[in-house]
A and B are shown apart, each in its own frame.
Chain A
């Protein structure tokens, strides 16, 4: 099983619908991140959390919200999806014990299409 699991892997929805992407990890890491990837733009940080109940905005947080329900779970919500939120979303984790040298571990991605 993957260390960082994202569900769903693929989702097609309509404009205005509420969508939740979920991420769970078995790495035991305290830090978790949500990224968005668009073609040719690399990965941009949406939100990050350094511990349960710690939530921080990233570069492109507008239109998104997150919840850190437990150390192992970090959910990304789109309250009212719009077509320009069509993208590939990645969850990642890291260990605060090695903030600068530790690896970021990524999930396999969730492809979201908003019609």
Chain B
């Protein structure tokens, strides 16, 4: 199964951009890249997903490498409320999910 690798932790200053990396060197052509985040004492929540092209939504941007072996979640202006664990996972169309397990993610600390 395709796996993802993320740094354990990152720090950012408030109101500065944050780039959270994810490596997925064994990604297949049908895998979508998804990002979730988990705020303290809450369940994970969806952030963004993409296949090949870069994606933007109201929460963040997703930059996908041309070979799709890595991606970067971009928070354009970090706020204290963005402090959370960020997970990168891969999902495909198959009837049997190839990956539904979240790794340990990246703990983002935002400094005031």
Contact = CB atoms under 8 A, between A and B. Distances in A.
Interface residues of B, number: 25
A42 B87 contact: yes
Give the most central of B41, B45, B91, B94: most A CB within 10 Å. B91
Given A90-B43, A106-B44, A108-B43, A101 B32 contact: yes
Chain B contact surface mostly: loop
Given A100-B30, A104-B36, A109 B43 contact: yes
Interface residues of A, number: 26
Interface in B73-106: 87, 91-97, 100-105
B68 interface: no
Interface string A2-19: 001000000000000000
A101 to B, nearest CB: 6
Given A100-B92, A101-B49, A41 B42 contact: no
A48 interface: yes
Interface of A: 4, 33, 35, 40-45, 48, 50, 56, 58-59, 90, 92, 99-101, 103-109
6 contacts: A40-B104, A42-B101, A44-B101, A99-B92, A106-B43, A108-B43
